[in-house]
Structure formats: C-alpha cells, structure tokens
Amino acid sequence: MAGENKKRPQTVIPTMSRVLPSGEIVELVYDAKSGRTRLAVGIDGEFSVEDAVGIDANAKLVPVSPENDLIKHGVLLLPSAPETFDSVAKLVADIEAYLYRYVDLSERFRRIAAYYVLLTWVYDAFNELPYLRLRGDFGSGKSRALLVIGSLCYKAFFASGASTVSPIFHLLDSLRGTLIVDEADFRFSDENAQLVKILNNGNTRGFPVLRTMLTPKREFVPRAFSVFSPKVIAMRHGFDDPALESRFITEDMGQRALRDDIPISLPDEQKGEALLLRNQLLSYRFAQLPTASIDPLLVDPDLSPRGNQIILPLLSLIDDEETRDEIAALAKGIERTEQVARSATVEAHVLDVLRSLLGDEATERVTVGDLTGALTERYGGEYERPLTSRYVGNIVRKRLHLPTYKSRGVYVIPKGLRGQVEILCKKYGLDAEA
C-alpha cells in the first residue's frame, strides 16, 4: 500500500568468529563433505550450529563462503562442528597421543605442545603469549611436526618461507587465528625483517604494526595491522635478537634417531583424527573462554617480569604441577642463556668495571677517561682495536642510558648511579660483586 513503511532488509555480515554482547561465542565451521560453511554458537556449555545468527533487528551474521580461497585450498583449517569431550585431562591426553603417533618429539615438548594447542583456542583471553618453535636442519622432521601440531590449532593458517610476508599482515589482522610458518629463515633480508616485526609485536596485545597502504585513489595512507596471535614456526637457525629468542618455547629436532613406528608419510586417517580433535577443541573454547585468565599465584619470583608475562598464560591452563615445573625450568634456562650471551658484550664489560669504580669509597669521582683506562686494563685483550674515551662514553650514554656531566673539561659519571648500575649488572648476567 502506498505510504506504508517498508521493512528494511537486514544487513548481512560474513563472519569468521565473534563474541556477542550476550556472551555467546560464534565460530565458523566447515564441512568438507558437503562443501558447506555454517556458524557454531556456544554459551554456558551449550552449543548449536546455525545458518545465520541475528545480532539485532537490522543485522545478522552469516558464515564466510566455502568458496573462500583459504578454506577451499586448505590454507585455513576449521572444525566441522562442535563435539563434546569427557574432560580437559582426557582432551590433553588425546592430543598427546595424536602427536605421539605422527611425530617424534621429546616427552617434555610433546606435553607442552598439547597445552599450547589449548592456549591457541582461548588466547584472546590473555594479553601476552609465548610462541612455539621447531628448529633443525633439513630432514630433521620439523616440517612434519609443524603440520601435525598446526592442524590442531585455533583457526590455523599456513605460510612458508617461499611466501611474501605482506599477505601475513592482512591474514593475521582479519583472521585473528594461529600463524603457522614453515622455513621461517626467509631468503631475503627485507622479508626476514618484516617477519621479525610480526614476531616482535605479535606476542603482546595492543602493539599493531603500522604499514603504508596504497588506496584506489593512488594515495598512501597508514594502516594499523593487529598481529597479536599464537604462532608456531619451523626454522633452521635462530634470531639474532635475544629478546625475540626469549619469546619461543623451542624443540631442537633431529637430536636423536627417529622412532621406528613413525610413519614415513602421513596416512589418510591423520586428517580425520585432527578434525575430530579440532571439533572437541571448539567445544573447549566455548566452555573455557569465558573464565580463562591469568593465575597470579603462578608468578615465579626467580623469573624476570618479562619471563613471567610470556609463560603465565600457558601455566594458567595447566593443572599438572610437573608440567608447570618443566615450563618454568625451560623459561629460566632461556633467561640464563640470554644472560650468558649478554655477559660477554662490551656493555657488560663496561658495567663490570664501572661497578668496581663506583664502589671504591676512596674514589671521589669517576671520569669516562678513568673508566676507559680500567676497562682497557681488565678487558683490552678481548678487543681488536684500542678502546677510546669517546667510544666508551657513547656506550655509557646511548646504550646503557646512564647520564654523565662535564666538570673541569672532562665527562664524569655520578657516583649516585651505583644502585642503577647494580640493576643493570643483574640484567646483563653479572654476578653480585664480591
């Protein structure tokens, strides 16, 4: 009838995942047999599978098309439908058994990897994350391990060192899933630098990577890409940055003879087993995401604040005390290795000598020249070129961020910095002065 208000069509929003204001968790599922995508909806331990989910009178969520290239070509692995699991302990045991069948990992790392899989399914409840890494030479089994572990992770999408990094920024930002990277030792330094940006920013929420994008109008505009997500990578070597290295829980592959019962090629049933576990892990997400949180009682006083930040999300999901102890010991080992590397640097040498000079009550003031002379006497033999006051002064000011002031034509290091120097000495792995 003329003049009668027509009902506005609902806005249709293709959806991969979302948490609604009601607390309902919406996740995309894909049934490869029927070639159909739907939306699984879970809340309070209950779940259903829907063709669409209304969010208000004007909008509804619909599943991303099964014709999406990532889904169609198996780059993105999804559950087919939520399935119930007996208990978290049984789910972890089933994941461990699956890993044991298809890849040769140390018992400790296999257990850690099983809990890391759980973490990927509730990672968005936390603000910091560790990464998982398989490291080894060609033929060590790291790619197999990556595939087997990655096939269980939340919204896992696979990339390789042959890929360019640019799509990874977009996929991390849009999918908010688990990044799986094989051969992460990129051939070209620029690509490697881009991956390092992702890894440096991607373990802490709220640190997007800024990139310049070209608009259809040929204008360059900045855009922030969220890269916070779990990541599992395989590589032959390590990264030069000790701070980046500290983010990884690493298994060194190829350190022992391969078990005889490991299949040379993955059998067809492996994909079915992985799908069943992903379906149960989807139910785990529905059940655990609303209550997942950091357990402050697990803070380890023997670890640095940063070390605690990285491992606490994983520890907070683990009920087994032995596994918690193993992960904490692993984190401490990483920090010790980091400190040993730092203790051999010129910064550590400067701090070691400066601590001695500042602690000498008979010394009225410490000049950069005094420091240079004492440094040359104690460590000069370890350097190919003579140490100069200008070089040492730059280390004090620019690398150690300790202030100096000019007095009577020379630069002086304030004696009041002794406490700050002691803190830096601990950071650089130098034992307390005798």
Distance, CA of 208 to CA of 371 (rounded, Å): 41
Q: Is the dihedral of CA 398, 399, 404, 406 positive or negative?
A: negative
HSE on the CB side for 194, CA within 13 Å?
18
- 1 within domain boundaries: no
Domain boundary among 288, 316, 341: 341
pTM as predicted: 0.82
pLDDT band of residue 165 (cuts 50, 70, 90) is confident
CATH number at residue 251: 3.40.50.300
Q: Compute the average pLDDT of residues 220-238.
A: 88
Same domain, 325 and 353: no
Across 48-52, 281-285, 331-335, 396-400, least confident range:
331-335
Q: What Rg value do the Cα atoms of the chain yield, rounded?
A: 27
User: For the segment 336-386, what is each residue's pLDDT rounded down to a tens digit?
Assistant: 777 777 788 899 999 999 999 998 887 778 999 999 999 999 998 888 888
pLDDT at 302 over 90: no
pLDDT at 434 over 60: no
Is residue 108 exposed (0-12), middle (13-18) or buried (19+ Cβ within 10 Å)?
middle
Top-confidence residue, 210 or 370: 370
Domain boundary among 295, 311, 341: 341
User: For the segment 18-48, what is each residue's pLDDT rounded down to a tens digit?
Assistant: 999 999 999 999 999 999 999 999 988 789 9
Range from 1-5, 198-202, 333-337, 367-371 that averages highest in pLDDT: 367-371
CATH number at residue 351: 1.10.10
pLDDT of 190: 62
Across 398-402, 410-414, 424-428, least confident range:
424-428
Same domain, 238 and 375: no
Range of the domain at 405: 344-427
Residues of the chain above pLDDT 90, percent: 56
Hey, how many other C-beta atoms are within 10 angstroms of the C-beta on 125? Answer: 18
Assign 202 to helix, strand or coil. coil
pLDDT of 432: 56
Top-confidence residue, 263 or 7: 263
- 351 within domain boundaries: yes
Same domain, 337 and 349: no
Angle between helices 107-122 and 269-288 (to 10 degrees): 60
Same domain, 324 and 352: no
Average pLDDT, the chain: 88
Domain boundary among 341, 373, 407: 341
pLDDT at 331 over 60: yes
User: For the segment 265-278, what is each residue's pLDDT rounded down to a tens digit?
Assistant: 999 999 999 999 99
**CA distances from residue 243 to 248, 265, 307, 337 in whole angstroms, order as listed:** 10, 37, 10, 11
Same domain, 150 and 253: yes
Same domain, 236 and 365: no
Same domain, 58 and 206: no
pLDDT at 89 over 50: yes
Q: How many domains does the chain have?
A: 3
pLDDT of 118: 97
Distance, CA of 62 to CA of 14 (rounded, Å): 5
Same domain, 195 and 264: yes
Among residues 348, 346, 364, 360, which one has the least CA distance to residue 407? 364
